Amino acid sequence: MSAETCLNLDRLCARYGWEIARQTRVALKKNAENHITKSLGVLQEDGVYAFFLYQASRGEREKKGAEALRAQAHALLQAAQISVFDRIADSLEAVRGSNASRGLADDVDSLFLAKCLLEQALIYARYHAKGLESESWDGKSIV
Protein backbone atom coordinates (compact mmCIF):
# COMPACT_ATOMS: atom_id res chain seq x y z
CA MET A 1 0.00 0.00 0.00
CA SER A 2 1.52 3.33 -1.01
CA ALA A 3 1.41 6.56 0.98
CA GLU A 4 -1.08 8.06 -1.50
CA THR A 5 -3.66 5.35 -0.84
CA CYS A 6 -3.45 5.26 2.95
CA LEU A 7 -6.70 4.02 4.51
CA ASN A 8 -8.47 5.90 7.27
CA LEU A 9 -9.10 2.85 9.44
CA ASP A 10 -11.31 4.65 11.95
CA ARG A 11 -13.61 5.82 9.17
CA LEU A 12 -13.68 2.26 7.85
CA CYS A 13 -14.66 1.00 11.32
CA ALA A 14 -17.39 3.64 11.56
CA ARG A 15 -18.80 2.68 8.16
CA TYR A 16 -18.81 -1.04 8.92
CA GLY A 17 -20.07 -0.38 12.45
CA TRP A 18 -23.11 1.26 10.89
CA GLU A 19 -23.63 -1.66 8.50
CA ILE A 20 -23.24 -4.19 11.31
CA ALA A 21 -25.89 -2.39 13.37
CA ARG A 22 -28.26 -1.88 10.45
CA GLN A 23 -28.05 -5.41 9.09
CA THR A 24 -28.13 -7.05 12.52
CA ARG A 25 -31.18 -4.96 13.40
CA VAL A 26 -32.95 -5.97 10.17
CA ALA A 27 -32.16 -9.65 10.76
CA LEU A 28 -33.00 -9.79 14.46
CA LYS A 29 -35.73 -7.13 14.78
CA LYS A 30 -35.11 -7.16 18.55
CA ASN A 31 -31.96 -7.64 20.58
CA ALA A 32 -29.53 -6.37 17.92
CA GLU A 33 -27.70 -4.28 20.52
CA ASN A 34 -27.58 -7.29 22.87
CA HIS A 35 -26.10 -9.58 20.20
CA ILE A 36 -23.52 -6.96 19.22
CA THR A 37 -22.55 -6.39 22.87
CA LYS A 38 -22.15 -10.13 23.51
CA SER A 39 -20.08 -10.46 20.33
CA LEU A 40 -17.85 -7.60 21.46
CA GLY A 41 -17.37 -9.29 24.83
CA VAL A 42 -16.35 -12.57 23.19
CA LEU A 43 -13.89 -10.72 20.94
CA GLN A 44 -12.34 -8.80 23.85
CA GLU A 45 -12.10 -11.77 26.20
CA ASP A 46 -11.34 -14.64 23.84
CA GLY A 47 -10.05 -13.24 20.54
CA VAL A 48 -10.82 -13.14 16.84
CA TYR A 49 -11.24 -16.88 16.31
CA ALA A 50 -13.68 -17.15 19.24
CA PHE A 51 -15.59 -14.15 17.85
CA PHE A 52 -16.15 -15.86 14.49
CA LEU A 53 -16.86 -19.17 16.22
CA TYR A 54 -19.47 -17.44 18.40
CA GLN A 55 -21.23 -16.13 15.28
CA ALA A 56 -21.19 -19.62 13.72
CA SER A 57 -22.58 -21.24 16.88
CA ARG A 58 -25.68 -19.08 17.30
CA GLY A 59 -28.98 -20.91 17.49
CA GLU A 60 -31.97 -20.54 15.23
CA ARG A 61 -33.23 -17.38 16.96
CA GLU A 62 -30.00 -15.45 16.42
CA LYS A 63 -28.68 -17.16 13.28
CA LYS A 64 -29.61 -14.50 10.72
CA GLY A 65 -28.24 -11.69 12.87
CA ALA A 66 -25.02 -13.60 13.50
CA GLU A 67 -24.62 -14.30 9.78
CA ALA A 68 -25.11 -10.61 8.98
CA LEU A 69 -22.60 -9.59 11.64
CA ARG A 70 -20.06 -12.18 10.49
CA ALA A 71 -20.37 -11.13 6.85
CA GLN A 72 -19.83 -7.46 7.70
CA ALA A 73 -16.89 -8.29 9.98
CA HIS A 74 -15.31 -10.32 7.16
CA ALA A 75 -15.93 -7.46 4.72
CA LEU A 76 -14.33 -4.98 7.13
CA LEU A 77 -11.16 -7.07 7.32
CA GLN A 78 -11.11 -7.36 3.52
CA ALA A 79 -11.54 -3.59 3.15
CA ALA A 80 -8.70 -3.08 5.65
CA GLN A 81 -6.57 -5.11 3.23
CA ILE A 82 -5.85 -8.00 5.56
CA SER A 83 -4.97 -10.32 2.71
CA VAL A 84 -6.07 -13.65 4.16
CA PHE A 85 -9.70 -12.43 4.07
CA ASP A 86 -9.38 -11.81 0.32
CA ARG A 87 -8.08 -15.33 -0.29
CA ILE A 88 -10.34 -17.36 2.00
CA ALA A 89 -14.13 -16.89 2.09
CA ASP A 90 -14.76 -18.90 5.28
CA SER A 91 -14.00 -16.64 8.26
CA LEU A 92 -13.03 -19.46 10.61
CA GLU A 93 -10.63 -20.95 8.09
CA ALA A 94 -9.25 -17.48 7.33
CA VAL A 95 -8.27 -17.10 10.99
CA ARG A 96 -7.01 -20.61 11.75
CA GLY A 97 -5.60 -21.46 8.32
CA SER A 98 -5.53 -24.91 6.82
CA ASN A 99 -3.00 -27.46 5.65
CA ALA A 100 -2.91 -25.68 2.29
CA SER A 101 -2.66 -22.07 3.48
CA ARG A 102 -1.60 -19.89 6.36
CA GLY A 103 -4.26 -18.10 8.36
CA LEU A 104 -4.53 -14.87 10.27
CA ALA A 105 -3.34 -16.65 13.44
CA ASP A 106 0.03 -17.21 11.74
CA ASP A 107 0.64 -13.44 11.50
CA VAL A 108 0.50 -11.88 14.96
CA ASP A 109 0.66 -8.27 13.71
CA SER A 110 -2.30 -8.79 11.38
CA LEU A 111 -4.15 -10.71 14.10
CA PHE A 112 -3.81 -7.79 16.54
CA LEU A 113 -4.81 -5.31 13.84
CA ALA A 114 -7.88 -7.38 13.00
CA LYS A 115 -8.88 -7.56 16.67
CA CYS A 116 -8.51 -3.79 17.10
CA LEU A 117 -10.52 -3.05 13.95
CA LEU A 118 -13.30 -5.46 14.87
CA GLU A 119 -13.42 -4.11 18.40
CA GLN A 120 -13.74 -0.51 17.22
CA ALA A 121 -16.38 -1.40 14.62
CA LEU A 122 -18.42 -3.30 17.21
CA ILE A 123 -18.22 -0.39 19.64
CA TYR A 124 -19.59 1.89 16.93
CA ALA A 125 -22.17 -0.75 15.98
CA ARG A 126 -23.39 -0.96 19.56
CA TYR A 127 -24.04 2.79 19.68
CA HIS A 128 -25.68 2.73 16.25
CA ALA A 129 -27.90 -0.17 17.33
CA LYS A 130 -28.92 1.74 20.45
CA GLY A 131 -29.82 4.68 18.20
CA LEU A 132 -31.80 2.46 15.85
CA GLU A 133 -33.88 1.27 18.81
CA SER A 134 -34.57 4.87 19.78
CA GLU A 135 -37.70 6.47 18.38
CA SER A 136 -35.83 9.69 17.63
CA TRP A 137 -33.45 8.02 15.19
CA ASP A 138 -34.40 8.50 11.54
CA GLY A 139 -32.57 5.37 10.35
CA LYS A 140 -30.25 7.18 7.97
CA SER A 141 -26.54 6.58 7.96
CA ILE A 142 -24.40 9.26 9.52
CA VAL A 143 -21.20 7.86 8.05
At residue 100, the pLDDT reads 79
At residue 139, the pLDDT reads 55
Its pTM stands at 0.89
Phi then psi for 100, rounded to 5 degrees? -90, -25
Q: Smallest Cα–Cα separation from 143: which of 77, 85, 76, 84?
A: 76
pLDDT tens string, the chain, 143 residues long: the values are: 455 678 899 999 999 999 999 999 999 988 899 999 999 999 999 999 999 999 999 998 899 999 999 999 999 999 999 999 999 999 999 999 988 789 999 999 999 999 999 999 999 999 999 988 775 555 555 55
Q: Smallest Cα–Cα separation from 52: which of 132, 126, 111?
A: 111
At residue 44, the pLDDT reads 98
**Residue 79: C-alpha distances to residues 6, 72, 118, 130, 133 (Å):** 12, 10, 12, 25, 28
Sorted by where each starts, the structural domains of the chain and their CATH numbers stand as: 9-133 (1.10.520.30)
At residue 101, the pLDDT reads 85
Distance CA(132)–CA(143), nearest Å, equals 14
At residue 98, the pLDDT reads 84
